[in-house]
Amino acid sequence: MQFNPRYPLLNPKLFHQQMPVPLKGAKAGHFNQALADQLQWSDADQAAWVEICSGQKTFAEFEPLAMVYAGHQFGQWAGQLGDGRGLLIAQILDKNNQTIDLHLKGAGATPYSRMGDGRAVLRSVIREYLAGHALNALGVASSNAVGFTSSAQGVQREKLELGAMMLRTSDCHIRLGHFEWINQYQPELLADFVQKCIEWHYPECLNAEQPILAFATKVIQRTAVMIAKWQLVGFAHGVMNTDNLNITGSTLDFGPYGFMERFRPNWINNHSDYNARYTYQQQPSIGHWNLWTWLNNLIPLAPAENKQQFKEDLAQCLEHFETTFLEHYTLGLCQKMGLPSFHKDSFDCSMAFLRILQAEQLDYTDSFIRLQNKSYTALRDDCLDTRQFDTFLNQYQSIRADQATDELDVQMFKVNPQYTLRNHMLQKAIELAERNDFSEVDRLFKLFNTPYTKQQLLEQTSDLAPLPSDVPEVMVSCSS
Ligand code: AMP
Ligand code: MG
């Protein structure tokens, strides 16, 4: 590994250095060899992956640390938070010379654990491990993980579960909530901190006329692109608190997430989300709210002679959110539909299709595959309101009639995944892993290496459809 320890250069008030506390009886769960190669792990590092991913081996080049931050949780100011059960154990360079954080989740209690035990359970580790892998393979910027370990140590949740640790990777663990903590508790650190964020993550903004405004605009745009991609692949993050969004627009901290099965935009996948704040359909407006909250923390950086103008300029940065989101979402949706994005009726027609999926409770992934395979009869046969479907199909085919459909069809195959990470697939992998059988984790890991490609030898029939609607849902909550 090539180390690039830079977070420890920040003011020590922003973190707490401590060692991981290993779990009893740590054992191998799964290892992401391709990612370890990308991160330039040597053969010796790779041979020691179980020790590294269970907190037994740390590095002389980096003293592990817990970050402090704050946040708004479910819309309410939550005060000081921080890494309560994870440690940054290294910052290393990957093959592209990009600095990547190695964050060991489940590594024991820290000063920021509040009432928590500092641990993660195998169930939630597997969920995060496979979703990070799937999002990356789907082309959505996200954290990932080099590997995870299970253990023989029980951890109490609603019931006693197995403790586990995961070595998460991300280009950035600096959250919107970092700025909130600094503003609230150590405002004199703000200018330096923002300067470091720009240097590390947006160096191109250093030369802008107003670097802070350029930085804010980039953060807003990247977050908007990330959320547009979530909407397109049907990902609901589940807990979009300001402490769970980072400043590089790569998906982070998605415990109680869900991938869309039957198209239900207002479905609550996180059962701790009593007010339905973080449903799929709310994500763009919540992203906007979080960024607005974040921007308020930059106001103290206004130049003394120009305070009002700076505030207005910050507000103006937020205007980029909606335009960036719509640009990416509209283009992506038209590509999924096989419609030309420049045609004036393409977006309306796409929305008509989504309304049918919603009204008929059709499967999101499967319906786009049927559309791409021109299985219109199969789609129509699943509709109760066939008139609505016929109206849609007429418009759809008339838009496509004047187009070079070959190119549109090729595009459809590139953007419509063959597989989505259904809750029942995860559940089966988790139940087997809890009995020490990681074969299903491995099968899903391989299936989601290339989610846009049909893999007859790996797939199972149950991967291709949601559970029947009379089977109770798997419950996922914040308690992980
Ligand atoms: P999350 O919703 O998982 O992002 O967690 C919100 C906050 O609670 C973060 O500061 C976490 O570090 C902390 N936290 C969550 N679970 C635990 C736990 N089991 N022990 C200690 N802290 C926790
Ligand atoms: Mg979090």
pLDDT digits (tens, 9 = 90+) for 69-95: 999 999 999 999 999 999 999 999 999
- Which two structure tokens, joined as six digits, stand for 246? 């980072």
Closest CA to 451 of 417, 401, 477, 406: 417
Q: Is the CB of 255 under 6 A from ligand 1?
A: yes
So what's the pLDDT on residue 35? 98
Please compute the mean of the pLDDT values over residues 138-152 and round it to a whole number.
Answer: 98
So what's the pLDDT on residue 470? 77
pLDDT digits (tens, 9 = 90+) for 207-262: 999 999 999 999 999 999 999 999 999 999 999 999 999 999 999 999 899 999 99
So what's the pLDDT on residue 289? 98
pLDDT digits (tens, 9 = 90+) for 294-335: 999 999 999 999 999 999 999 999 999 999 999 999 999 999
Inter-residue long-range contacts of 203-209, CB under 8 Å, 24+ positions, other chains counted: none
Q: Is the CB of 177 under 6 A from ligand 1?
A: no
- Give the confidence band of 191 by pLDDT, cuts at 50, 70, 90: very high
Say if residue 271's pLDDT is above 90: no
Nearest residue by C-alpha to atom 7 in ligand 1 = 81
174 C-alpha vs ligand 2 centroid, how far in Å? 11
409 C-alpha vs ligand 2 centroid, how far in Å? 40
pLDDT digits (tens, 9 = 90+) for 40-66: 999 999 999 999 999 999 999 999 999
Nearest residue by C-alpha to atom 8 in ligand 1 = 84
Q: pTM for the complete prediction?
A: 0.98
Please compute the mean of the pLDDT values over residues 467-478 and round it to a whole number.
Answer: 77
The protein residues having their C-beta less than 5 angstroms from ligand 2 (an ion) are 244, 253
Q: Is the CB of 84 under 6 A from ligand 1?
A: yes
Q: Is 321 exposed, middle or buried (0-12, 13-18, 19+ CB in 10 A)?
A: buried
So what's the pLDDT on residue 15? 98
So what's the pLDDT on residue 270? 86
Q: Is the CB of 273 under 6 A from ligand 1?
A: no
pLDDT digits (tens, 9 = 90+) for 7-37: 999 999 999 999 999 999 999 999 999 999 9
Q: Are 320 and 215 in contact (CB under 8 A)?
A: no
Handedness of CA 40, 249, 423, 376 (dihedral sign): negative
- Give the confidence band of 205 by pLDDT, cuts at 50, 70, 90: very high
So what's the pLDDT on residue 265? 95
So what's the pLDDT on residue 294? 98
Question: What is the SS3 string spanning the chain?
Answer: CCECCCHHHCCHHHEEECCCCCCCCCEEEEECHHHHHHCCCCHHHHHCHHHHCCCCCCCCCCCCEEECCEEEECCEEEEECCCCCEEEEEEEECCCCCEEEEEEECCCCCCCCCCCCCCEEHHHHHHHHHHHHHHHHHCCCECEEEEEEECCCEEECCCEEEEEEEEEEECCCCEHHHHHHHHHHCHHHHHHHHHHHHHHHCHHHHHCCCHHHHHHHHHHHHHHHHHHHHHHHCEECCCCCHHHCECCCCECCCCCCEECCECCCCCCCECCCCCCCCCHHHHHHHHHHHHHHHHHCCHHHCCHHHHHHHHHHHHHHHHHHHHHHHHHHHHHHHHHHCCCCCCCCHHHHHHHHHHHHHHHCCEHHHHHHHHHCCCHHHHHHCCCCHHHHHHHHHHHHHHHHCCCHHHHHHHHHHHCCCCCCCHHHHHHHHHHHHCCCCHHHHHHHHHCCCCCCCCCCCCCHHHHCCCCCCCCCCCECCCC
Q: Ligand 1: which atom is nearest the Cα of residue 120?
A: 19
- Give the confidence band of 203 by pLDDT, cuts at 50, 70, 90: very high
Q: Is the CB of 262 under 6 A from ligand 1?
A: no
In degrees, rounded to 5, the angle at the alpha carbon of residue 240 between the alpha carbons of residues 327 and 447 is 75
So what's the pLDDT on residue 66? 98
Say if residue 361's pLDDT is above 90: yes
The domains of the chain are located at 1-301
So what's the pLDDT on residue 208? 98
Could you give the CA distance from residue 207 to residue 45 in angstroms, rounded to a whole number?
39
**For all residues of the chain together, what is the average pLDDT?**
97
So what's the pLDDT on residue 468? 85
Catalytic residue among 83, 101, 171, 243: 243
Give me the percent of the chain exceeding a pLDDT of 70.
100
Nearest residue by C-alpha to atom 12 in ligand 1 = 84
So what's the pLDDT on residue 378? 98
Whether 381 is a known active-site residue: answer: no
Does 168 count as an annotated binding residue? yes
pLDDT digits (tens, 9 = 90+) for 436-471: 999 999 999 999 999 999 999 999 999 999 988 777
